[in-house]
Amino acid sequence: MKLLFVAAFALFVLSTFDHADSSAYDKIVAHSRIRARKEGPNVCALQQVMGTKKKYFSTCRNWYQGAICGKKATVLYECCPGYMKLEGMRGCPAVAPIDHVYGTLGLVKATSTQKYSDISKLRPEIEGPGSYTFFAPSNEAWENLDEVSHKQNKNPESFSAHFHNKHSVCEQQALHVVTVNCARIIYGNQVATNGVVHVIDRVISAVGNTIQDTIEVDDDLTTLSDLAQNAGLLEKLGMPGHYTLFAPTNEAFDKLGSDVLERLQSDKEVLKALLNFHLLGSIQCSEAIIAGSSYETLEGNNIEIGCDGESLTVNGIKMVLKKDVVTTNGVIHFIDQVLMPDSAKQVMELVGQSQSTFGDMVSELGLSAAMRPEAEYTLLAPLNVAFTDEVMSMDQRLLKVILENHILKNKIVLGQLYNGQRVETIGGKYLRVFIYRTAVCIENSCLVRGSKEGSNGALHLMKTLLKPAEKTMFEILTENGGFKIFLSLMEAAGLTDLLKQEGDFTLFAPSDKAFTGLSERDLDLLKSDINALRSILLYHINNGIFIGGGLETGVTNLLKSIQGSNIKVLSANKTMLVNSVQIPESDIMATNGVIHFVNHVLYPGDLPVGSQDLLTLLRRIITYRQLKYISGFKYQEIPLTFMTPEMSRVTSVIQGEPTITKVTRVIEGQPSVTKVTRVIEGQPSVTKVTRVIEGQPSITKVTRVVSGNIFSLELESQRIFINERRTPGRRVLGKTNPAFVTNAV
């Protein structure tokens, strides 16, 4: 009866080995031939792990490292599959004879398998007509079996698993390694008259259980089974597919602690992400892993699977307790740790080793304790190198304020950041986001690769500590004290308000050192031609905020100045150059832009000079480039469209209970500028003055005298003059005129 079962089973096998696997094995052999081409025709090069009988067609990396799974390996040269040596001839010039499957087992030196084929009465089948694929365990594979397994695998039913059957055999191909039911093919594609033989490195058994079946009945995986059921994933593990499950044992989950387990179970999506992080959409047997490789999990992020000697590693850690539990829909490796994906972590758990100082300081200063578990946050975590001795010696209250600038109120992942965005910190300050060709920056600091997303927040790695802007460009330069000449020239050019107004500008500010040697007479010469002065000053300013870390390194970045010509900025080797001039201090953030200090005056390369006196002066302060002289050249007027008109509001406040008198006067013709002086005695009242004047104004001065305490208000007027006041008795209204008028009450 058993023999009839084997015969029926054998007739059901596929006619050839899977084309993909055959092709993969052929590529392995082709690579091996290339490495051994100096040894003669049809010779293959292999690596054998020292101290073992294991031989591999290895990867390029392992070949040049001379090691497999961290263990020293020696090089062997053997005949490639299907070829033989001939005495006195170089290489392997002869083709091996073709026989039926049973005879081929002898040719490939799988004599133990040949013997057990006799014992299991399988020999007649594999000698007869048909098209079979036979996975023949090597002699060493049989020797490695324990006595009980040895006896079990001699019977026909278990031995039939070595026929290829798509319902009971899991095939895997990896770079330079092909496995069947996690048994490595060590000698493949040996053609027979009635099929093909592949020699494998272990004895395989028939497989009947799914991954779901296995974890439901294993006493070490009860917690995993319950969690998979709660997450709605258990049934999926019972469906057809090709999976690798890294299955944490009950003890592994116990290590997390009850609080963490409760948090995970309370959020089904987080729990699902956690379990999917342990699951691959491909079969990865231990024998196929001969070097560390990254694999994408069903959660979406990657884990690294590697090896250390005989041990399988996950993310570089030896955590596999039992490996290669083969099922009908994949393979299971038991592990003693839970793999925690970022998507299942709280935001503070995202902090890694390179930002550990930030994490420690946030905890020590009480900021992490104040973060509510149900709220979402974003950590802008500076690297450890940002916390210098100077920073660590700061007053803790000041350091706490600085760190508050690195925690945002909401969860903002990398893909949600955009140029011009303003993000709020837990301290109530707003930070600006800048997007460049090769960088994303927030204020003065740029992001480093390695952003993470957790269950209640996100983390971005920052190069340096953030320094949010608090003052305008004008305030920064004034308080610095080293830019007096530049500020005086800006005032002479009528451009001071540009440094005060709202906007996004980049200023290359020339220090007083840039004007060394100039006399008051020289400065007067600069100020004498306002168009020339504006052209020079506005060449130092451009629209948009460009910080050093945001510039593409190693190439020239062209920034268009407000004057119109390009500024050439180069960032390389932690040095920033503008028009080949070194910038001694960069990235001083202002509320209306960023300032880079320079010790030179910049001048457009395409702009000539038309005055000999000005040329002589400029050559004294601009030494990094040649200036072009064109006699009579006149600087063009630059429209000040970039300047924001200043809006003025005048409000006079007079104490007491007011009565309101409103006078509206419309003046035709050429309007005037009216100056009003009001003197009021007694308890003042609230007076509101609104004036709208169109056209070119002239000046008129009006004086009013009211008995009581004195209160005066001077106003710049326009075309329509409105006067509101409180009087105890009669009202006096007078028309304005260009003359000086006095109204007395």
Tell me the average pLDDT across 187-215. Answer: 90
pLDDT at 720 over 60: no
Comparing 676 with 250, which gets the higher pLDDT? 250
Tell me the average pLDDT across 510-524. Answer: 94
Tell me the average pLDDT across 554-577. Answer: 92
pLDDT at 393 over 60: yes
Q: Which of 68-77, 287-296, 375-384, 704-713 has the lowest mean pLDDT?
A: 704-713
Q: What is the pLDDT of residue 292?
A: 84
pLDDT at 19 over 70: no
Q: How far apart are CA 558 and CA 579, in angstroms?
A: 10
Q: What is the pLDDT of residue 229?
A: 95
Tell me the average pLDDT across 390-405. Answer: 94
Can you give the residue ranges of every domain in the chain?
Answer: 24-161+175-200, 211-341, 345-462, 473-621
Decide if 211-341 and 345-462 have a common fold.
yes
pLDDT at 742 over 80: no
Q: What is the pLDDT of residue 10?
A: 34
- What residues are paired with 677 via a beta bridge? 703
Taking alpha carbons only, the member of 204, 95, 217 closest to residue 153 is 204
Q: Which of 84-88, 597-601, 691-695 has the lowest mean pLDDT?
A: 691-695
Taking alpha carbons only, the member of 638, 631, 455, 667 closest to residue 561 is 638
Tell me the average pLDDT across 535-562. Answer: 94
pLDDT at 730 over 80: no
Give me the DSSP letters along 53-113. --EE---HHHHHHTEETTEEEEEEEEEPTTEE--TTSSS--EEPPP--HHHHHHHTT-HHH
Q: What is the pLDDT of residue 576?
A: 93
HEC string of 159-207? HHHHECCCCCCCEEEECCEEEECCEEEEEEEEEECCEEEEEECCCCCCC
Comparing 416 with 673, which gets the higher pLDDT? 416
Q: Specify the DSSP element, H or E, that contains 1.
A: none
Q: How far from chain centre, in Å, is Cα 462? A: 10
Q: How far from chain centre, in Å, is Cα 216? A: 39
Taking alpha carbons only, the member of 185, 176, 174, 187 closest to residue 31 is 176
Tell me the average pLDDT across 704-722. Answer: 40
Q: What is the pLDDT of residue 324?
A: 92
pLDDT at 367 over 80: yes
Handedness of CA 415, 416, 417, 418 (dihedral sign): positive
pLDDT at 202 over 60: yes
Q: What is the pLDDT of residue 659?
A: 55
Q: Which of 134-148, 234-248, 278-292 has the lowest mean pLDDT?
A: 134-148
Q: How far apart are CA 55 and CA 81, in angstroms?
A: 14
CA dihedral (605, 606, 607, 610) in degrees, to 10, reads: 100
Cβ-based neighbours of 327, under 8 Å, separated by 6 or more: 170, 207, 209, 210, 211, 213, 214
Identify the CATH class of 473-621.
Answer: mainly beta
Q: Which of 77-91, 276-290, 451-465, 703-717 has the lowest mean pLDDT?
A: 703-717
Tell me the average pLDDT across 170-185. Answer: 67
Tell me the average pLDDT across 240-253. Answer: 96
Query: Over the stretch 431-444, which tens digit does the pLDDT of each residue have?
Result: 999 999 999 999 99
Tell me the average pLDDT across 458-469. Answer: 94
CATH of 24-161+175-200, one of 3.40.630.10, 2.60.120.260, 2.30.180.10, 3.40.50.1100: 2.30.180.10
If one counts every other C-beta atom within 10 angstroms of the C-beta of residue 207, the result is 19
Q: Which CATH superfamily is domain 211-341 in?
A: FAS1 domain (2.30.180.10)
Q: What is the pLDDT of residue 70?
A: 85
Query: Over the stretch 473-489, which tens digit does the pLDDT of each residue have?
Result: 999 999 999 999 999 99
Q: How far from chain centre, in Å, is Cα 71? A: 35
- 8 A C-beta contact, residue 454 and residue 349: yes
Tell me the average pLDDT across 702-721. Answer: 40
Half-sphere exposure of 718 (CA within 13 A, CB side): 11
Comparing 706 with 187, which gets the higher pLDDT? 187
Q: How far apart are CA 21 and CA 259, in angstroms?
A: 47
Rg (CA), the chain: 42
Q: How far apart are CA 16 and CA 179, in angstroms?
A: 16
Q: What is the pLDDT of residue 86?
A: 94
Q: What is the pLDDT of residue 159?
A: 55
In order of 146, 339, 395, 402, 465, the CA distances from 382 in angstroms are 56, 26, 19, 11, 6
The fraction of the chain above a pLDDT of 90, given in percent, is 63
List the structure tokens of 56: 């591999």
0.85 surpassed by pTM: no
Comparing 181 with 41, which gets the higher pLDDT? 41
Give me the DSSP letters along 649-696. ---B---S------EEE---SS--EEEEEEEE-SS---B----B--SS
Q: What is the pLDDT of residue 715?
A: 37
345-462 carries CATH number 2.40.40.20 = no
Q: What is the pLDDT of residue 163?
A: 54
pLDDT at 168 over 90: no
Query: Over the stretch 247-258, which tens digit does the pLDDT of each residue have?
Result: 999 999 999 999
Tell me the average pLDDT across 11-39. Answer: 65
Q: How far apart are CA 494 and CA 469, in angstroms?
A: 25
Q: What is the pLDDT of residue 291?
A: 82
Comparing 166 with 208, which gets the higher pLDDT? 208
pLDDT at 242 over 90: yes
Comparing 156 with 535, which gets the higher pLDDT? 535
List the structure tokens of 244: 């690798």
pLDDT at 660 over 60: no
